Amino acid sequence: MKPGSKRGGSRSTVKAPEGLEQVYGVHALESLLARGDAPRELWVQQGAGRRLNLLIERARAQGARLKEQPREVLDQLTGAAAHQGVVAFCSPLTPEGEESLWLRLNAWQASAPPLLLILDGVTDVHNFGACLRSADAAGAHGVIVAKDNAAPLNATVRKVACGAAEVVPVYQVTNLSRTLAKLKEFNVWITGTAGEADASLYALDFTGPTALVMGAEGKGMRRLTREGCDHLAKLPMAGEVSSLNVSVAAGICLFEAVRQRQLAS
C-alpha cells in the first residue's frame, strides 16, 4: 500500500442530474408517459432487455435524453431499491399552499361535495405514497399535510404512489388546527379516526363535504387535531390486531365515502 493511501480506496457517489429528482420503476415511468409528463433524462440498465423498449421509445418521443448505465450505478443511486432497470429524472414535486386550497374549495363545492384526506403526523414516506395512491383511486380532491412533522414528497413517495403523487394535489399548511377551523367555514365536516371512538365509521354520513383525518401510526392524532374534529370514528376490528396500517385505514375510510356517495346519487 502506498503511503498516504486509504485502505479500500475512495467510493464514488452517484447523484441525480442537478435540479432533478429521481423517479424509479416501470409503473411510475408508465404513469408519467401516459400523462405526457416526460422525464428530462432516463437512465436504463445495460442489457435490460426488450421489456423496456416500448417505454424507452415513448420517452424518447416525448423528448427524454437516454443514458445506459450498469446495474451497479442504478443500485447505488436508488439505494438498491426495486428500480426494475429504469430511473427517470423529473422536476421535483412541491406541495401547494393553503391559499390554493381555499380558492379551489369554492369551485369544488359548485360541482360536487369535496372529499379531502388529512394526514396528521404521518412521516413514513411509504405510508404517505400509499395514502396518495388510495386518495387518487377514491377520487379525493386533495391531501392536506402539516408543514412540519410530515413525510416529504420525494422519490420514494412517487414510486409507492404509482403516479398518484403527480396528480393528487397535496396542500401543505402551517397550522393544522387552524386549517380544520377554516374548513368548517366552508361547511366541510371533519371526521377523525381513533380506535377508542364510540361511533363506527359505517354509522356516519360522508355524502356531504367531508375531510377524513388519519393520525400517525402508534401516536394517532394530536390533541388539537382531535379537538378540531366534528366526529370521531373507529373501524370495527374483529381479529387480534388492535389497529391497521395508516394507509390501509385511509383506503377503507375513503372508499366508505365513495360507497355512500354512489348510493346517494
Of 209, 217, 207, 206, the C-alpha closest to 244 is 217
Same domain as 102, residue 150: yes
Last residue of a domain, one of 90, 110, 134: 90
What was the pLDDT predicted at 80? 62
Cα 153–chain centre separation? 7
Q: Whole domain around residue 52: which residue ranges?
A: 21-90
Encode the chain (265 residues) as per-residue pLDDT tens digits: 444 444 444 445 778 788 888 888 888 788 888 877 788 999 999 887 677 888 888 888 989 999 999 989 998 888 766 788 888 898 888 999 999 999 999 888 888 899 999 999 999 999 999 999 999 999 999 999 999 999 999 888 988 898 899 899 999 999 999 999 999 999 999 999 998 899 999 999 999 999 999 999 878 999 999 999 999 999 988 877 777 899 999 999 999 999 999 999 8
Residue 190 lies in a domain: yes
Residue 3 lies in a domain: no
Same domain as 142, residue 44: no
Per the structure, the count of domains in the chain is 2
Same domain as 84, residue 52: yes
Q: How many residues does the chain have?
A: 265
Same domain as 75, residue 104: no
Residue 8 lies in a domain: no
What is the reported pTM?
0.85
Same domain as 104, residue 75: no
Same domain as 132, residue 169: yes
CB atoms within 10 A of CB 107: 10
What was the pLDDT predicted at 2? 44
Same domain as 230, residue 125: yes
CB 167 within 8 A of CB 187: no
123 φ/ψ angles, rounded to the nearest 5 degrees: -105, -10
Residue 14 lies in a domain: no
What was the pLDDT predicted at 81? 65
Read off the CATH number of the domain in which 31 is found. Answer: 3.30.1330.30
**Residue 75 to residue 85: CA distance in whole angstroms:** 9
Provide the grid cell at 206.
360522508
What was the pLDDT predicted at 29? 83
CB 16 within 8 A of CB 89: yes
Neighbour-count burial of 263, counting CB atoms closer than 10 A to its CB (0-12 exposed, 13-18 middle, 19+ buried):
exposed
Same domain as 108, residue 137: yes
Last residue of a domain, one of 90, 113, 142: 90
Read off the CATH number of the domain in which 213 is found. Answer: 3.40.1280.10
What was the pLDDT predicted at 77? 86
Same domain as 67, residue 53: yes
What was the pLDDT predicted at 14? 78
CB 155 within 8 A of CB 24: yes
List of residues 6+ apart from 67 with CB closer than 8 A:
41, 42, 43, 44
